[in-house]
Structures are given as structure tokens and as C-alpha cells.
Structure 1
Amino acid sequence: MKAVCVLSGGLDSTVSCLIAKDLGYDLVNITFNYGQKAAKREVNSAKKISEILNAEHVVIDLPFIKKFGKSALLTEKEPPKLDIEELDMRFRTIQTMEEVWVPARNLILFSIASGFAESIDADRVFVGLSGEEATTFPDNTPEFVERLNKALEYGTLNQVKIEAPLCNKNKQEIVKIGHEIEKKLGVEVLKYSYSCYKDNGEDFLHCGVCESCARRKRAFLGAGVKDKTKYIE
């Protein structure tokens, strides 16, 4: 029983990967390098996690995406920062979503992952979409997954299905789920996940002040799970 995981190395995709592992799938993890600032750290994080989970790891380069839009993930723009108390202010998170939005990114990545899955006779692609990010990112919603799966019924001969087991969970719940599976499987991978928007010059080292780092900090704190992440601030 084989499955593909889209593993950015981030918290959500790492827990999605853990869920697939716990379900008994033989995993092939894909990390996409599309020119994002943190690509090197994301790839190294995903490689480490894949080694721990005894999964094959594949890196796919998509340099053309860097030409899309003006996302702070792809340009010299400073990624958005939010204080923890701002994370639930919808007007602010809509603003920051627009700053980091990469046009059609998830649609492109998940389509490629689905084609890859078909090529290796896998019919499941696990992705790390979260309910918390779905409040502002339309391509994190259950509706997005449902409609993409409908297209995949026609776009793949083996009807590959996208599995988004966390799309109704906030990050606090995601940390709890990940921590429980870690204990069950006797592994430790959450500390090797990489959430930061930046490359801070060292593997697993987070800036601690970008919006993504703020969400990570809040998640571990709210879950009551020790945060072993290394932060600059």
C-alpha cells in the first residue's frame, strides 16, 4: 500500500505524513523547490523527516513558479510579521495572506504530485492543508480538495485522491495529533519540521517573528507540548 506525501517540511505537512505512516502506507515524500526563500531549509527538513520515517524522498524543481506574482516568499520583500494576538484578526490575516500568496501554487503542486502518484501506482496523495490557514487561504479549504478530487477522477486513470486529514484542524490540534503519533510510532520528527518563511542560514533554525513562526509558537504553547524548535527571537 503506497502513498505520496507532499512534504514541505512544515508542521502541517509533517503531521499529515505521520498520519499516512501510522495508517500503514509505504511513503514517497515529495518536496517542491519553486524558488521560495526557504527552499534549502525546507528540503533539508523534509529529507531528515523522510529518513526518520523510512520514506523515499524526492525533490522536484519548478523554477517557472518564481515568475508568478510578487509574493514575499519569492521576492526580496520582507515576509509579514504578526504578533500572536493578531493571528485571529481577520482583516490582518487577509492582508498577510495576500502578501505571501503564490498564484495557483497548491493547484500546481498537488496536480504534479497526483501525476507522480499515478506513475508509481499509488492512488493517495496526502497533503498538509489546515483549517487554521483555510480561514484565509482558499486553496486550504475542504471545498478546494473536494473539487480537485473531482477533477482527478478524470485527470488520472487510477483516480488518485487527495487526502487532507487536517483540513478541519487548527495548529494547536495538529501539534497534539502529531505528538501522539510520535509517541505511538516511537519517533521524533516535529522538532525537525520547518515553518519559517525565511532561510536563517542553518537547518531547523527559525526566525521566531514571521507570521508562520508566530503560529508555530502558539500551536505548541496551546497544545501543551514542549516546543523544541530553535528560534532566533
Structure 2
Amino acid sequence: MKAICVLSGGLDSTVASLIAKQKGYDITCLTFNYGQQALKNEISASKKIAEILGAEHKIIDLNFLSEMCELSECGLKTGDIPSISEENLDNRVVAEQTMKKVWVPARNLIMFSIASGLAEAICADYVYCGINEEEASTFPDNTMEFMDRFNKCNEYGTLNKVKLEAPLYKMNKDEIVKKGIELEQKLGLELLKYSYSCYHENPEFIHCGICESCMRRKRAFKLANTEDITTYKE
């Protein structure tokens, strides 16, 4: 059995990949380069995680998406990345504003389509991703509606009807941390400590601690009542 894992090296995609491993799939991990600020850290994290999983790792360059990020003035490309307080993470109005500043045009649609094409080429039936309930509250391409419609397209767009799998879709970040730790213990692997969530490029895997992705990571470990092994600047 084969599966493609879309792996940014972040918390969600790491745990989703771990679930694919636990299910016994022969995994190929894909990391996408669209000119994001944290590219070097994401590649380092995803390479290490793929190595631990015993998976093949591929980096896909998306120069055209990088150009679209410039046109849309996406903060992940320009470096104009907003910060957010913990108390505002669940404030829909504030969180939607920060989302718009880091929105990459059609990112998941493009990445999942490429992953589906590779899956079809290697006779894999599934593409695993880190779509989850917490981010679905503000990112429309993290919702079940998006996933259901994407899978409907794949019924016509791939001969083997490749299916997008989102094993975390009912989970918030703290539940994802708990699931990751549970699977690490079950499989005898250590992955979470190598994951990288920050929107910024930082040396030695240090997280900024104030961007939305860092704030959600911080809160997740706190709510999971487990030690946060991440090093933050703030």
C-alpha cells in the first residue's frame, strides 16, 4: 500500500504523516517550495521527519506560486507576518485578518492536485494532509467542504480516484499534540521535536513565538498538559 504525505514539517502534517506510517503505508513525503520565508527550516524539518519515517522525500519547486505570492503581497513571501495574542486566537474577526495576510493563492488546491497526480503515477490511493478543525475556522481550504469537493474532482481527475485523507479533521491543535505523542510512544519514534511551525526563517529551529502559527503551537502543548519541547524567541 502506498500513500503520498504533504509534509511542510509543521505539527499538523507531521502527525498526519505519522498516522499514515502507523497504518502501514509505504510513504512518499512532498514538501513544496513557493518562496516562503521559512523554506529552509521547513525543508530541514521535513527531511528529518521523512528520514525517521523511512519515507522517500521530494521537494517540489513552485516558481509560479512564488510569483503569485508576490502579486498578492502574501506575508509568507514578503516577510510582513502579523503577530497575534493568545486571547485573540479564537476571535474570528482578528484571526481572519491575520489569515488574509498569510494567505497563499490557491495553495492547498495546487499542492493537493500535484500530490494527487504523483499518487496516481505511483499507484497510490491516498494523499495524507494536515487539515484540521482549528484552522478550518479561518482557512477555507482547511474545511471538510473543501476536502469533500476536492475528492469529488479527483473521482474524475484521476483514473484510480485518488482520495485526500485528513485524519486530523475533527481535532484541535492540543488533540493533535496528544495524538502525536500517543503514536510516538506506540511506534517508538520521536518526531514532534523536529517539527517546525514558525512562519519566519530562524536559525537552529528557534521559533519566533509571536506569529499565529507559533501561538497556536504554544497553546496546543499547554492545553495538552505536556512539555513543550520547542525553543521560542519570545
Shorter-chain TM-score category?
over 0.9
1:164 aligns to what? 166
Q: Displacement of 1:67 after TM fit?
A: 1.7
1:116 aligns to what? 118
Q: Do the aligned partners of 2:31 and 2:59 also contact (CA within 8 Å) in 1?
A: yes
Identity of aligned residues (%): 62
Q: Which runs of at least 4 in structure 1 moved beyond 3 Å after TM superposition? A: none
1:33 aligns to what? 33
Q: What is the total number of aligned residue pairs between the two structures?
A: 231
2:45 aligns to what? 45
- Return the structure number with greater helix share: 2
Structure 1 residue ranges without an equivalent (≥5) = none
Structure 2 residue ranges without an equivalent (≥5) = none
Q: Do the aligned partners of 2:75 and 2:102 also contact (CA within 8 Å) in 1?
A: yes
CA RMSD in angstroms, aligned pairs only: 0.8
Q: Do the aligned partners of 1:117 and 1:123 also contact (CA within 8 Å) in 2?
A: yes
Q: Displacement of 1:130 after TM fit?
A: 1.1
Equivalent in 69, 74, 85 of residue 71 of structure 1: 74
Equivalent in 153, 172, 176 of residue 174 of structure 1: 176
Q: Displacement of 1:76 after TM fit?
A: 3.5
Q: Do the aligned partners of 2:79 and 2:200 also contact (CA within 8 Å) in 1?
A: no
Paired residue type of 2:121: S
Q: Displacement of 1:167 after TM fit?
A: 1.4
1:5-154 paired onto structure 2 within 5 Å:
5-68=5-68, 69-77=72-80, 79-154=81-156
1:219 aligns to what? 220
Q: Do the aligned partners of 1:11 and 1:193 also contact (CA within 8 Å) in 2?
A: yes
Q: Do the aligned partners of 2:30 and 2:60 also contact (CA within 8 Å) in 1?
A: yes
Q: Displacement of 1:232 after TM fit?
A: 1.4
Secondary structure at the counterpart of residue 29 of structure 1 = strand
Q: TM-score, normalised by structure 1?
A: 0.97
Deviation by residue 1:99-150 (Cα, 9 ceiling, x = unmatched): 1111111000000000011111101000001110000000000010000000
* Distance in 1 between residues matched to 2:50 and 2:152, nearest whole Å: 29
* Distance in 2 between residues matched to 1:209 and 1:136, nearest whole Å: 18
* Distance in 2 between residues matched to 1:99 and 1:18, nearest whole Å: 30
Q: Displacement of 1:201 after TM fit?
A: 2.4
Q: Do the aligned partners of 1:179 and 1:225 also contact (CA within 8 Å) in 2?
A: no
